[in-house]
Every structure is written in C-alpha cells, then in structure tokens.
A and B are shown apart, each in its own frame.
Chain A
C-alpha cells in the first residue's frame, strides 16, 4: 500500500491538519513504511475470530442519568484561548 500526495491531503482534511509540501514529502515515505509494517497482519486468517475492543472484555458501566458534576464554567473557560460572557469565541461561521 502506497499513499499519494492526494491521499495524504485527504487524510489531512479528515484529521484537520494543514500539511505543507515539505511535510507531505517526508510523510509520504514515513507513512508508507508504517503501513508496510502493519500490512504484515493481512496474511493472518481471522475469519472465525471476533474483534476484541476491551482488554478485559468488560462492558461500560452505566450510571443514573443525573447531573454528577457541579457547574464550573468559569474555571473551564479560564483556559480557553478566547471566551467572553460565558461563550467560546470562534471565527464567524454564518454570513
């Protein structure tokens, strides 16, 4: 499996990463090498093996659908790059 620059740009869009030409060139070889490494697993026949997502095969615990945390909006917004009047500020998205 070999990735083209177009593939990489598409991945960059999916992952919200801006990639310049210099980075694309380096990534091309590095990601190809990584994919070559992981392609080793394609040779294994796993038709009868169920996927395993939790190492102890436990299911997520449920809790009552009730608030469990106090309101700490001000504390959380103190670490925001831009916040005002309790709102997070982002560039305009609606004309």
Chain B
C-alpha cells in the first residue's frame, strides 16, 4: 500500500479492501518511523487526520465515490489551516493558528482527502533548499545530508519517502519543480491563476502559484484537478472551468508504439549550452532520446532573454513584492511581537528583526531598495520591461514547438550548508525555472535519471498558458514507457 499509486489506493478504498482510517494509520506510522531523520513535517496532525479519515469512511460506507475521498496527503505549511498552526517556516508565525482555511484547504477537505499535517519549507518560501526554515533543514530521502530542494522541500521529501502519497506545494520561482527533481518525484505548477491564492501566504504575488506533488503525472493530475478552480476571493483567480486532467490521461493513445507522434518538443539551446553538471547532461540526453523514440520531434529554439535575464528580473520583482507583502507582519494583528521595545516604531522594528530569518531580511531590504526613490525606474520598472521580453521569448518559441523540454536545475541536490552563506550561488541555481513564473506558464518536472552519486535528476516540460492537460499527458506517456518514477529511496530503519 505504501508504494501504491493514487489510482490503486482509490480502487482499494472503493472495493473496501482498506479503510481510510487504516490508510491514515499506515502513513502516520511511517511518519513516526522515518520523519525524525528526514524532517519533512513541521506539524503532524494525527487527531485531525483520524477524524477526517473517519468522516471519509462514513462517506465511502454511504456509497459515495470521489477521486480523493480517503486518500492521505499533506499541505505545504504555507496554506492556512483553521485550527492547525500555519508557520510558513518562520519564527514570525511559530504559534500562528489561522482563523480560516485557504481555498485549496477547503477544496481538499470537501474532496474528502485526509491531511496528515503541515510540511517544511524555506522561510516564507524564500529559498531553493529548505535550509532557511526556522524549524531546521529537511534532508533529501535519497541521501541524508543533502538538500531536498526548495522551497517546497518538505512536500517533495515526504512524497519521495512515501510518508504521504501526495502533497501540495507552491511555486514562485521553481519551488515545486526543483524539489520534485531533487527528490525523484513528479511536480506540476499550473498556469498562473489556476489555483486560488486565498489563504496561501504571500511571497511574490504576481508569481505565486499553488502546485501538486506525486510519484507520477497521473497522481499529480488527481491532486491538481482537485486544487484548481475559480475563487472570487483571489483577484487573480482565472474565471474558467478547472481543467479536466484525469480523463485525458486515462484515454489510450491512438498509436501505442509512438504515442507522442506529432509532438514538437522545443529544446532551448541556451539552457543546454554550459554550466550543466555532466550527469544532468547525460540524463537529459537519455530522456530526449526516449521522447524521440515515443514519436516526439525535437526542434531547437532560443530563449535568449529568459536564459540571460530571468535571474536579475526575478530577484528584483520578487524581492519588491516580498518587501510589500511582508510589511503586514507588524507584531500588532498576528505573529511574533518582541518582548522589548520603547515605542511603536521600535516594537515594529524589533518584532520584525526577531521574527524574520536572514534570507527573508535580505529580500525585504533588496525590495525596499529597488522600490525606493531614485532607484524605482532603474530596477523595478526595468525588471518589468525585461519580464515582457522574457514572455515574448516563450511566445515566439511556441510558434515553433508545442512544449519545451529543459533541465530543471543545473545540478542534482547539493550538500546541506554548501550554499547557505552565499545567496548569489543559491539564486544562480534557479536559472532554469524562474522564467516560467515571470511568464505565468505551466511547468512540470518529472524524474529522468540519477547522478553518479545516486541523486535523482529531473526533466522539465514547459507549455503555453492552459496546457496542463498536454503537459501531464506527455509526462504520463513517458512514464508509461520508463520506470524512473517508480524508483524509491531506501530509508534507514528508525
């Protein structure tokens, strides 16, 4: 059961071979046995999980059938959950219990999915390694002492270690795709506006987007479908029907031997030019040949601005939006308040300095700088202009190809601590994921091999707006013909 796909769990639950309560116990016991070493969870909600599982069992007993009814999962601790603390990986919110549920939380509750708790992340989702969490780093289940990626590192590690079959995440600059790659699982970030941001703690609002983690594209499709849909409480929520993802994947291809015949995969030359780890080059080359064997035709494309300017444009825009969004933490309405202060101003300053970690402080200061008088045009407006050039790169590319095939990260996972004191080195590692967020495009990461050291490597598929169905379908065809997504790390006994 631990390694079962969501479809297999669904069948077992519907056939009453296993109850939702038994499944919840199975995975909770696994968390007890292994999470001390991995540290994927900030909060395990045993009581809530068993109550939700009992409710799911009642619905199942009444004959109700629904895609996620009784399926265990966990939330990235960035989604507000009423009655269960939501920390966002920060001392600022160490004791924060949200008075309301995020829209995604409401949808998954209604779907009958059983949340086992809240997963670790970089503080306020600012990071690429989950090391900036106030609650300590998460370890990569494939190798202790290595990062799981970030910011949704707890989500990716939990799914990879099969502490949960599914997990929610968010992706502002790669925070679903990169940890999925580092942990050897599948992750998808949909088109901006697909998943409501209501109750999803804000980092950079024009890039923030919820996403899904699972072992396979099929598992991700089940979760993303349940998370998506219009929500009038998010002003950027897209008022269009939620994509129907599962049905598209279940359909048999016309040509079973060449299921991807006719698919044009764009290969951005700049993303393969230099700076790639040799093991990433090898794994991506193998994946490309596999796609060609399935019938896809690879065409060279150029993403010149995206490759050269996404890092500066992103770190200006995201920091600016972060400095604005995080101004709400003032020690007055919620969150940490300093014990010592002289007046209102020092209460603000001390509360924020104590509550925020080093990376969050850095981004707030950079944001304050690029928005300040005299620098706004040169930094903020210039970055917004570059954002348009980057979006135009993609638009031009999609005239020549259907989807883009790219690396997720220049390297496999690195050692915990290796880049912790060098923010620029950490930012440079995001080169292959940031542009997708600036352009609001959907992107998917799926496993495609391993490094010499035995760490997973992922491939990225990027599509035009609203191409989630196609992205998942193409990854699914790949996974029907390969077994990288079936590999599991060997966990040491507790």
Residues of A within 8 A of B (CB): 3, 8, 11-12, 14-19, 23, 26-27, 30-31, 33-42, 44, 46, 49-56, 58, 60-61, 63, 72, 75-76, 78-82, 88, 90-93
Which residues in A have their C-beta under 8 angstroms from that of B232?
61, 63
Q: Does B407 contact A (CB under 8 A)?
A: no
Residues of B close to A72: CB separation below 8 A: 99-100
Q: In the docked arrangement, what's the CA distance between A16 and B361, Å?
A: 10
Is B344 touching A93 in the complex (CB atoms < 8 A)? Answer: yes
Nearest residue, chain B, Cβ from A40 = B312
When distances are taken between beta carbons in the complex, the residues of chain B under 8 Å from A60 are 235-236
| Cα separation A41 to B349 with both chains bound (whole Å) | 32
Q: In the complex, given contacts A61-B235, A72-B99, what are 17 additional A-B residue pairs having Cβ atoms less than 8 angstroms apart?
A: A15-B352, A30-B423, A33-B423, A38-B315, A41-B309, A41-B382, A51-B384, A51-B387, A53-B206, A53-B384, A55-B192, A55-B438, A60-B236, A79-B97, A79-B98, A91-B347, A93-B343
| A47 CB → nearest B CB, Å | 9
Kindly provide the distance from the CB of A85 to the nearest chain B CB, expressed in whole angstroms: 16
Q: Which of B316, B369, B424 contacts A11 (CB 8 A)?
A: B369
Known: A54-B236, A60-B236. A90 touches B362 (CB 8 A): no
Produce 1/0 per residue, B170-200, CB < 8 A to A: 0000000000000000000001110000000
Min CB distance B193 to A, Å, is 6
Docked complex Cα distance between A58 and B337 (Å): 38
Evaluate contact between A56 and B366: CB separation under 8 angstroms: no
Given contacts A46-B389, A56-B465, contact A37 B315 (CB under 8 A): yes
Q: Determine if B263 is an interface residue (Cβ-Cβ < 8 Å).
A: no
- Docked complex Cα distance between A70 and B100 (Å): 12
Q: Is B70 among interface residues, defined by CB-CB distance under 8 A? A: no
Give the segment of B219-227, B326-334, B483-491 that binds chain A.
B326-334
In this complex, the member of A46, A56, A58, A91 whose beta carbon has the largest number of chain B beta carbons within 10 angstroms is A56
